[in-house]
Amino acid sequence: MANESREIRRHDRLSDELGFTRTPYEDDPRRDLHLLAAIEKVAPGTPLRQAVDDVIRSHEGALIVIGDPQELAFLYSGGLKLDAPFRPQLLYELAKMDGAIVVDTAVKKLAWANVQLMPDSTIPSDETGTRHRTAERVAKQTGALVVSVSQQRETVTIFVGQARYQLDPVADVLAKTNQALATLDTYRQRLEQVLTRLTALEFQNTVVLDDVLVTLQRAEMTSRMAERIERDCIELGGEGRLIRLQLEELVGNVPAERDAIVRDYHAAGAGPEATIALEGLRALRYQELLDFDRLGELLGLSRGLNALDHAMQPRGYRVLSNVPRLPESVVRKVVADLGSLDAIVRASQRDLEAVEGVGAVRAREIREGLRRLQEHNLVDRYLQL
């Protein structure tokens, strides 16, 4: 009972630390890859975004359809056939006419202008304005990317398939992304703490399930935050270059560490079951990440195990992946032959040389690399105290 209460308090504290209840990641429509690709086409720095910005500054509206002009032809009523090279200034001038503008899929050619679009009127739409309602129906009916610029509200809404997304002002996206970077920095620091502790326990062969689940939980949360910021960078286009550099610095090899933890501790081994577990981990809802029983199930363990008492033994994938110049194929062979990190650490030069693909030079590198990792880990733990 005491252990159960202690785990509940730990879960509540982690929930508060990681912001599970405050950050609505699951509501981000940009997780749709088709929508994300559409956003990238209208991102700052692209010719299409330049034209859209010109339309907004002139207090005009526009309806722009990006797709194969021939496949979309059944929707046309009237209009001017252009087949002119795409130029932002020309699109801006064409937007002064009432009809829609049709651009080819590669955004290289202005195909039609002043077109009245006639989508299926039975397609449901919650939009109130004529332009937005037409845009939604065209996108749902054809799968094309449709950009609707509101003249009154000066907003840009994109429709692709069933998805709808309103672009925020660049300054707002920048502000939110910088806040997210600061949060990611905090996540990364907390992850480094538990990773350092886990490594020390692995070398001591004293890991328990709680250590594994806490580290896996934080690694997954950090990865998801990084993915959110990556989507922000796509929306920012050319304005997000500096943020992208900061993101790469902060994320480092976190996704690889997370994957290695699953391969190290999955009950069925590091094969297909571990791959399925990683897919299941990424599919979990954020609140589910707080459920240690659920995380344990992903690792092939039974529900109800006492995470604070259940001993775990690493196979050695994660630690060996941190040995310099050691290919993943060799890591797999060493683990397959020796079975556990403890056995690898205790292995002699001759034992390591006997592993296919290792040899004398690489065996020395493994032994020296493991020794340095142990020393480095001791220094890191001392600095965290």
pTM of the model: 0.84
Average pLDDT, the chain: 90
Rounded-to-integer distance, Cα 265 and Cα 278, Å:
12
Q: Tokens for 298, please give them.
A: 């992903």
- Superfamily of structural domain 32-167: DNA integrity scanning protein, DisA, N-terminal domain (3.40.1700.10)
Q: Domain-by-domain residue ranges, the chain? A: 32-167, 315-385
Write down the pLDDT at residue 8.
40
How many H helices and E strands in the chain?
16, 8
Contact status, residue 32 vs residue 163, Cβ threshold 8 Å: yes
Q: Tokens for 228, please give them.
A: 């959110």
65 Cβ contact list (under 8 Å, min separation 6): 72, 100, 101, 102, 103, 117, 138, 144, 145, 146, 147
**Identity at 252, one-letter amino acid code:** G
| The pLDDT of residue 2 is above 90 | no
**Domain 315-385 fold:** DNA polymerase; domain 1 (1.10.150)
**Identity at 97, one-letter amino acid code:** M
Segment 117-121 long-range contacts (CB within 8 Å, at least 24 positions apart): 117/63, 117/65, 117/75, 117/76, 117/77, 118/75, 118/76, 118/77, 119/75
Q: Pairing between strand 145-149 and 109-117?
A: unpaired
**CA-to-CA separations, 123 to 34, 38, 117, 295, 319, in angstroms, rounded:** 20, 22, 14, 42, 55
Burial (CB < 10 A; 0-12, 13-18, 19+), residue 60, is middle
Q: When comparing pLDDT for 28 and 113, which is higher? A: 113
pLDDT in tens, 115-167: 999 999 999 999 988 999 999 999 999 999 999 999 888 899 999 999 999 99
